[in-house]
Each structure stands twice: as structure tokens, then as C-alpha cells.
């Protein structure tokens, strides 16, 4: 799970309204607690029908509030204090009913009263049937709330609890967590120095998948975690960040423009369409080969012989972007995932690909880098002639921290250079 250092010590007031997605809010509470966040929960009357106050209290390790008229709660806490002691109010799931109450200023229970009385930022994660979501009444309410500065994550498209398919699924706990971190982060909110504001950056991430036939494909073990963390780090410093990614389970990094592709050819096309950029970081594990003749129909076992897959080399995206030309990014950063003689191979790669920096790491057995949370990397910089200018050895860091540190190094490098797009 990604690290969000910004969440450590923060206080979230989580309002759980009455939707089937309330079960996902239990996971959200756990994740927030793991990040060091204090979580206090308000259950609406409907919410308390989907998850029990006891479960919510146990997970949040705090008292749960659900009754506006409880004298003890009012004397101990009061709905005004309840909503003001938090750093952020999160409504998950936000039902059509509660969103309507928020938009019109109704306050007839503890959840709606708390939301009307708060002076803190509010993030809603809507969840409802797709027709309810698409209804002009709901869309008007959402627009009204957005105009008042209420933030929103989701809803996502997919299968819904009512058996239908469409837009209305509550965002996943990991996505809500990332959105909470983004709202609380002063840099992401544009309140701090943003050394990369006005810069366009491109990041590739994840694996590519290369089809064999309509149901089978060749791929690799890349999780996309490091590439996504780099995109997140760059966006945090204000860069207009385009993330071209193969299929991964990672949530979209806040503030980035995500382009999803499957094959290396598609990744190259998406990268080229994104030019010009100031910086390109190629962190994707692009499949080296693809199948020459992809079968139009599923290959059958019973056709006698075993199929022979003829492979052809995929385009090298990093080398293509590094080629001199009017659209060459001012800084091109590649990765070298090696299992032995890491620095030696990385240095050779720096020259062969003609990129400016290489982030080298050891992905050998036992390092836990592939799919893991942490990474030990070395940053190699090239001279103008392609030789080795310097090597920095970074300590063992979380992938999120590697992303932030690389983004800072990039910001230092591009400072004062002309912009790709002015």
C-alpha cells in the first residue's frame, strides 16, 4: 500500500450514509488508521442499517456518533465541535439523498447537521444506482456542491449492487485514500511553492501486454508502483503530468492526466502524441517482444501441433524519445532494472539509449523490488557526450519517497531552463 506521510496525525470525520457501499468504508477506516490518521465516524440512520456502530467503533478505535438528539453526545461533543475538530470531512458513501440535503442546506439528522455546520474541507464519494446518478436532480446538486468547493472522488463505472451496470460505484478505498491525501496536501492544493508549475512532464509506468490471440497475452511482473509514485511526485510539485500506463492495480495518482494503453506500440503512440514535454521519465517495463502474427481467433489445443510464436522486437520508447530532434524533451530519464552488476549495466544503458539520467535498481531475487513497497536506487547522470557524470546512491526508501525525491531532483535540474510549452 502506498505511503501518505501527509496523513500521519491528521483527523478525519467520516460520515457514512445509507448505501450498500458502506462496507467499503470499513476498509477505508482501516487504511486511514494504518496511515496514522485519527478517524471519527458519524453514521446516518441508513448507514447504521448497513454497518453496525460496533464494527465502526472497533475499527476507528473511537466513539461513533449517530443520534442528533443524544443528550450525552451533545453535552460531551456537540455537532458543531464534531465537525470542526477534524482536518477534513469525508462523506463515503455519499447517497443521492445526503447530497441533496447538502446542496439544499437541510439539517434534519446528525450527518446533515454536521455537514452544514462544518468550516472544514469536505470530500464526497458518491455511490448510487446509475440512473439516480445521471438524474438531472443529482447532477444539479453535484454542480452546486462543486461550486461551493466540495471535492469529489468517483463514482466509478462498473457493476452495481442493484444488479445493473453503469456509473455509480463508490470509488475504491485506495482511491479515496489518495484523494484525501491530495486534499490535505498543501503542495497539491497549490498553497506551497510549486517548482514545476508550467512544466509538462510525461511518465510511462506499468507493464505492457502483448496479445497472442484474443484471449492470451505476454506480459511481465511490473506493478506500476514506482512509475505511478513518480507521476504523483511530479504532479505534487505542480507539473502538468501525463501518465501513460499499462494495466496496473494502482490507483490514479492525484492531479495527473492518465492515458491507459496495453501494448508497446500503443504506449509509443500515446507518448509521441503527448510531445512536446519538458521531461520524460520512462519507468514502464515495456515488453521486449511482441507476437508477429496475432491470431484473430483463439488458438485451439486440438489442432495437432503446438503453435510456434514468432516474436518481433518492440519499439524502444526511451531510446525513441531520447533521439535528437525538435521535440526531444530537455531531460529524459530511464530506468535500469538489473539483477547483477547494477551500476555497470546502468552506465552502458545510459550510453546506448542516449538518455540523460538513469535510475538504476536491483530487482534480483530476494530484493522484493518487483511489486514491493520499497526500493534502493542509484541515480546516474550523463555528461553532454554520453559519458558518466555522477552517481548518487540513495538509501532504502518507500517507492513514494523515491518518487518525491526524483521529482525534486528534476525540479532542481529544469529550474531556469526554457519551457517546452509557454
Instruction: Give contact residues for ligand C5P (rule: CB under 6 A).
Output: 204, 264, 282-284, 286, 314, 316-318, 334-336, 349
How many CB atoms are closer than 10 A to CB 416?
A: 6
Residue least distant from ligand C5P (Cβ): 317
Angstrom distance (rounded) from CA 21 to CA 19: 5
- Between 101 and 290, name the residue whose CB sits nearer to ligand C5P: 290
- Between 96 and 337, name the residue whose CB sits nearer to ligand C5P: 337
CB of 97 to ligand C5P, least distance (A): 47
The C-alpha cell at 22 is: 458502506
DSSP string over 308-340: PPPEEEPP-HHHHHHS-STT--SEEEEEEEESS
Residue 181 burial (10 A CB sphere; 0-12, 13-18, 19+) = buried
CB of 268 to ligand C5P, least distance (A): 8
- Between 103 and 336, name the residue whose CB sits nearer to ligand C5P: 336
- Between 156 and 248, name the residue whose CB sits nearer to ligand C5P: 248
Residues 310/291, Cβ–Cβ less than 8 Å = yes
Angstrom distance (rounded) from CA 290 to CA 294: 9
Side-chain-side CA neighbours of 400 within 13 Å: the count stands at 13
CB of 281 to ligand C5P, least distance (A): 8
The C-alpha cell at 355 is: 538518455
Angstrom distance (rounded) from CA 420 to CA 332: 13
Those residues whose C-beta lies under 8 Å from the C-beta of residue 199, and which sit 6 or more positions away, are 238, 239, 240, 278, 279, 414, 419, 420
Nearest Cα to Cα of residue 276 among 66, 389, 422, 76: 422
| DSSP category for residue 302 | G
Angstrom distance (rounded) from CA 300 to CA 307: 9
* 282 among known catalytic residues: no
Nearest Cα to Cα of residue 110 among 44, 64, 57: 44
Q: Which of 162, 271, 282, 355 is catalytic?
A: 162
- Between 102 and 282, name the residue whose CB sits nearer to ligand C5P: 282
Give the CA angle between residues 389, 394, 396 to the nearest 5°: 155
Angstrom distance (rounded) from CA 305 to CA 108: 72
- Between 182 and 287, name the residue whose CB sits nearer to ligand C5P: 287
CB of 402 to ligand C5P, least distance (A): 14
- Between 118 and 322, name the residue whose CB sits nearer to ligand C5P: 322
CB of 231 to ligand C5P, least distance (A): 13
CB of 132 to ligand C5P, least distance (A): 43
CB of 134 to ligand C5P, least distance (A): 40
Angstrom distance (rounded) from CA 305 to CA 311: 18
Q: Which residues are catalytically annotated?
A: 162
Amino acid at each position: 500500500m502506498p505511503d501518505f506521510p501527509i496523513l500521519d496525525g491528521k483527523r478525519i470525520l467520516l460520515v457514512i450514509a445509507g448505501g450498500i457501499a458502506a462496507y467499503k468504508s470499513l476498509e477505508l477506516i482501516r487504511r486511514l488508521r494504518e496511515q496514522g490518521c485519527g478517524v471519527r465516524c458519524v453514521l446516518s440512520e441508513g448507514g447504521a442499517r448497513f454497518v453496525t456502530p460496533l464494527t465502526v467503533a472497533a475499527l476507528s478505535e473511537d466513539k461513533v456518533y449517530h443520534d442528533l438528539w443524544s443528550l450525552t453526545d451533545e453535552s460531551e461533543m456537540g455537532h458543531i465541535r464534531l465537525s470542526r475538530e477534524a482536518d477534513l470531512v469525508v462523506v463515503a458513501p455519499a447517497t443521492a439523498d445526503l447530497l441533496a440535503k447538502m446542496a439544499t442546506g437541510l439539517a434534519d439528522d446528525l450527518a446533515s447537521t454536521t455537514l452544514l455546520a462544518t468550516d472544514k474541507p469536505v470530500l464526497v464519494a458518491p455511490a448510487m444506482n446509475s440512473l439516480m446518478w445521471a438524474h438531472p436532480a443529482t447532477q444539479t446538486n453535484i454542480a452546486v456542491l462543486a461550486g461551493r468547493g466540495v471535492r469529489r472522488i468517483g463514482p466509478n463505472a462498473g457493476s452495481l449492487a442493484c444488479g445493473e451496470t453503469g456509473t455509480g460505484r463508490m470509488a475504491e478505498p485506495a482511491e479515496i485514500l489518495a484523494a484525501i491525501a491530495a486534499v490535505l496536501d498543501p503542495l497539491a492544493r497549490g498553497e506551497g511553492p510549486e517548482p514545476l508549475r508550467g512544466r509538462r512532464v510525461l511518465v510511462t509506468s506499468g507493464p505492457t501486454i502483448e496479445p497472442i490471440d484474443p484471449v492470451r497475452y505476454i506480459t511481465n511482473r511490473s506493478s506500476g508502483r514506482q512509475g505511478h509514485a513518480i507521476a504523483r511526485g511530479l504532479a505534487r510539485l505542480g507539473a502538468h503530468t501525463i501518465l501513460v500506463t499499462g494495466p496496473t492495480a494502482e490507483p490514479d495518482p492525484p492531479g495527473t492526466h492518465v492515458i491507459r494503453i496495453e501494448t508497446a506500440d500503443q504506449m509509443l503512440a500515446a507518448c509521441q502524441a503527448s510531445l512536446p514535454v519538458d521531461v520524460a521519465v520512462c519507468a514502464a517495463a515495456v515488453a521486449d517482444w511482441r507476437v508477429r502474427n496475432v491470431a484473430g481467433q483463439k488458438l485451439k489445443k486440438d489442432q495437432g501441433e503446438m503453435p510456434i510464436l514468432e516474436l518481433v522486437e518492440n519499439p524502444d520508447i526511451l531510446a525513441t524519445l531520447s533521439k535528437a530532434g525538435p521535440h526531444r524533451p530537455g531531460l529524459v530519464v530511464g530506468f535500469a532494472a538489473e539483477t547483477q552488476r547494477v551500476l555497470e549495466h546502468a552506465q552502458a544503458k545510459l550510453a546506448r539509449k542516449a538518455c540523460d539520467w538513469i535510475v538504476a535498481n536491483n530487482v534480483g531475487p530476494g530484493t522484493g523490488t518487483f511489486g514491493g513497497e520499497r526500493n534502493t536506487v542509484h541515480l546516474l547522470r550523463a555528461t553532454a557526450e554520453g559519458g558518466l557524470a555522477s552517481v548518487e546512491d540513495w538509501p532504502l526508501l518507500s517507492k513514494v519517497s523515491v518518487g518525491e525525491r526524483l521529482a525534486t531532483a528534476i525540479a532542481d535540474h529544469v529550474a531556469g531552463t526554457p519551457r517546452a510549452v509557454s
